[in-house]
Amino acid sequence: MDIDAHMASGQSPMIDPFGRKITYLRVSVTDRCDFRCVYCMAENMTFLPKKDLLTLEELDRVCTAFIAKGVRKLRLTGGEPLVRRNIMWLIRSLSRHMESGALDELTLTTNGSQLTRFAHELADAGVRRVNISMDTLDPEKFQQITRWGRLEQVMAGIDAAQEAGLHVKINAVALKDVNEHEIEEMLRWAHGRGMDLTLIETMPLGDIDGDRTDQYLPLSTVRARLAEKFTLEDIPYKTGGPARYVQVAETGGRLGFITPLTHNFCESCNRVRLTCTGTLYMCLGQEDAADLRAPLRASEGNELLNAAIDEAISRKPKGHDFVIDRRNNQPAVSRHMSVTGG
């Protein structure tokens, strides 16, 4: 059956109970990763059995249904999306929606480890931007944070991405006593290479092998420190995600802040998240979810799938309840970031 026929079906746009239009879908294509970052995973993770995963064809079909319902931006995440077997088939397939004008942007969040292999293929498939998650410029510290990663591999990936013409943004999780004194150096380095830098507060997702209260560093503190060295000017720049941006006068680059804890960004949330098993999370910070795999597999047509999506959007909550302190040492939600996609 031609799933693109649904593109012409005049699906109603997705508007949640608070009047927010849902135009951004993040899809975790795998829960697997070739790193084991200390704030994201335990070292010995148990991954999902293959039978639970949506096939690449099913992922294509679900994404196409969302695009028919008004999604304009699609971001593939993981785990590490580029370790999913044959992932380039899915990316090339989804790029047809950019060619038709139905989709504005197809992007990727990656740890950078596979970019030397895939950067040119991604660019050829219409991907224009990638976000690379990277928390330090110190090779030893990088290995401590990622457990299995090598900094030089990621640096080579950044080189390959820029050579292929991809716009690169660096995402760094601000970690107390780990990289907090490197942030100025990372800012100068990223901006020196024409890359935006976005700082992220650590989020209470999933049991890890440590204590998150030891990791938590409020970005209000980071911003105040940076403001002593740099001129930070608030700008209205948006990429479709939750980051608030400033222009840094001294470097000419942009710096983003994602602050789910010190200042949540729920009022403008236009996003939903699909996991590799077909579970739709209407909010990163809530357990409430909808199963799209069952309706997807129950019929060749998309009527059941569309109805399940509509029902889920009608339950999108106003916001999340993240908090990290000594009294709330349990994760706010039990699933790991690698399941929902960072």
Residue list, annotated binding site for GTP: 26, 75, 109, 169, 271-273
Annotated binding site: which residue ranges?
26, 33, 37, 39-40, 75, 79, 109, 133, 169, 203, 266, 269, 271-273, 283
CA angle 167, 60, 132 (to 5 degrees): 25
Q: Are strands 279-281 and 73-77 parallel, antiparallel or unpaired?
A: unpaired
| In contact, 86 and 56? CB cutoff 8 Å | yes
- 35: burial class by Cβ within 10 Å (0-12, 13-18, 19+)? buried
Cα 23 from Cα 8, distance rounded (Å):
18
| In contact, 36 and 46? CB cutoff 8 Å | no
Inter-axis angle of helices 115-124 and 151-163, nearest 10? 20
Residue 127 gets which letter from DSSP? -
Cα 203 from Cα 174, distance rounded (Å):
11
| In contact, 229 and 223? CB cutoff 8 Å | no
Cα 270 from Cα 266, distance rounded (Å):
9
Annotated binding site for S-adenosyl-L-methionine: which residue ranges?
39, 79, 133, 203
Element (H, E) at 229: helix 219-229
Please identify which residue in the block is written with the tokens 């380095």. Answer: 189
What is the DSSP annotation of 5-69?
Answer: GGGGS-PPP-B-TTS-B--EEEEE--S--S---TTT--SSPPPPPGGGSPPHHHHHHHHHHHHHT
Please identify which residue in the block is written with the tokens 């060295």. Answer: 229
Annotated binding site for [4Fe-4S] cluster: which residue ranges?
33, 37, 40, 266, 269, 283
